[in-house]
């Protein structure tokens, strides 16, 4: 049974630990919303969700402890596919959290994020099938434990959430995917290349949805979007802006030329600030499915 209230229904999707049940429940909720069977209005919460529903495995570890292996071996490519599956699983939770948490948006906001939840579920399934055909499953390797942190840091404000989660974390996926595909093509893994084709195309849509609702929130408050985005990056993403950027993909996803220039300028600014304080730098790249 699906709760009739939209936000309660989303909360149940968020808390469901089992990936297959989370995906199936999500599809059912999105379809019920599409048929007009869910209502908005008063619902309990929103509460902070420190740990959304997820299975007992994978074990979550610090980003530096996530296994990395070369793409030359099939086993190494499964480690990559596992890391990507984990990002997609997390991305499903990101969608349901937005539907649960932000209560005063137009209907189209919820329609958009439910569509994204369904697409993230399909991305997870494609990667999981790839793992399964290689004799593995999601949960087999340790996974990045920090992905939910940026989400939590943006609980209070839909404008900040839309800026930093789709337009920073998901957009980072656009930057890295074509290069990953080029490497996979070299080693002849056409199957993973074509899975990443599906993911890449749909992820542009997710970033575009983020852009749409970021600008909508800026309009409501009379804020200028480019300036606002730049200030949020400065406030929340010190030292965590990394190129090279997939400029064409990002522009299809609603980035303006000026915003891409700002990303490059901020990256240089953060690097200069870092260089002034310490001799060597290390970094991890976060992205979100
Ligand atoms: Fe996505
Ligand atoms: Fe995805």
56 in a domain, yes or no?
no
247 in a domain, yes or no?
yes
38 in a domain, yes or no?
no
CATH classification at residue 156: 1.20.1260.10
Residue 72 lies in domain: 61-277
Q: How far is the CA of 237 from the centre of ligand 1 (A)?
A: 20
83 in a domain, yes or no?
yes
Q: How far is the CA of 203 from the centre of ligand 1 (A)?
A: 5
Does the pTM of the predicted model rise above 0.85? Answer: yes
Q: Where are the beta strands (DSSP E) in 3-138?
A: 60-61
271 and 278 Cβ atoms separated by less than 8 Å: no
Q: What confidence tens digit (pLDDT) does each residue in 167-190 have?
A: 999 999 999 999 999 999 999 999
Number of domain units in the chain = 1
35 in a domain, yes or no?
no
Distance set, CA 58 to CA 17, 31, 141, 174 (Å): 12, 30, 6, 25
Round to whole Å and give the CA distance between 214 and 223.
Answer: 11
29 in a domain, yes or no?
no
pLDDT at residue 168 in the model: 96
185 in a domain, yes or no?
yes
pLDDT at residue 280 in the model: 57
Which residues in the chain come in under a pLDDT of 50? 283-284
Round to whole Å and give the CA distance between 277 and 190.
Answer: 44
Q: How many CA atoms does the CB half-sphere of 54 hold within 13 Å?
A: 24
Q: How far is the CA of 226 from the centre of ligand 2 (A)?
A: 25
Which residues make Cβ contacts (< 8 Å) with residue 247, sequence separation at least 6?
Answer: 260
Looking at the CA of 172, name the nearest ligand. 1
Round to whole Å and give the CA distance between 93 and 71.
Answer: 28
80 in a domain, yes or no?
yes
Q: What confidence tens digit (pLDDT) does each residue in 98-149 have?
A: 999 999 999 999 999 999 999 999 999 999 999 999 999 999 999 999 889 8
């Amino acid at each position: 049974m699906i709760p009739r209230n939209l936000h309660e229904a989303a909360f149940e999707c968020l808390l469901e630990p089992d990936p297959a049940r989370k995906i199936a429940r999500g599809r059912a909720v999105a379809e019920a919303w599409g048929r007009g069977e869910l209502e908005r209005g008063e619902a309990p919460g929103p509460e902070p969700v420190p740990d959304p529903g997820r299975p007992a495995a994978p074990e979550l570890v610090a980003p530096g402890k996530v296994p990395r292996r070369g793409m030359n071996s099939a086993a190494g490519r499964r480690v990559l596919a596992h890391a990507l599956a984990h990002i997609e699983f997390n991305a499903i939770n990101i969608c349901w959290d937005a539907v649960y948490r932000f209560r005063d948006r137009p209907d189209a906001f919820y329609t958009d994020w439910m569509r994204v939840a369904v697409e993230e579920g399909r991305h997870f399934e494609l990667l999981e099938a790839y793992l399964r055909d290689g004799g593995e499953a999601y949960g087999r390797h340790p996974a990045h434990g920090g992905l939910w942190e940026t989400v939590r840091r943006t609980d209070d404000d839909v404008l900040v959430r839309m800026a930093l989660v789709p337009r920073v974390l998901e957009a980072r996926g656009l930057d890295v995917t074509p290069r990953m595909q080029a490497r996979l093509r070299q080693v002849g893994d056409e199957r993973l290349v074509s899975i990443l084709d599906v993911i890449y195309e749909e992820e542009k849509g997710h970033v575009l949805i983020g852009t749409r609702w970021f600008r909508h929130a800026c309009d409501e408050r009379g804020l200028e979007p480019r300036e606002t985005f730049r200030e949020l990056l400065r406030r929340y993403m010190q030292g965590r802006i990394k190129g090279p950027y997939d400029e064409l993909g990002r522009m299809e996803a609603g980035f303006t030329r000026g915003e891409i220039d700002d990303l490059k300028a901020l990256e240089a600014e953060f690097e200069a600030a870092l260089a002034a304080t310490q001799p060597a730098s290390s970094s991890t790249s976060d992205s979100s499915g």
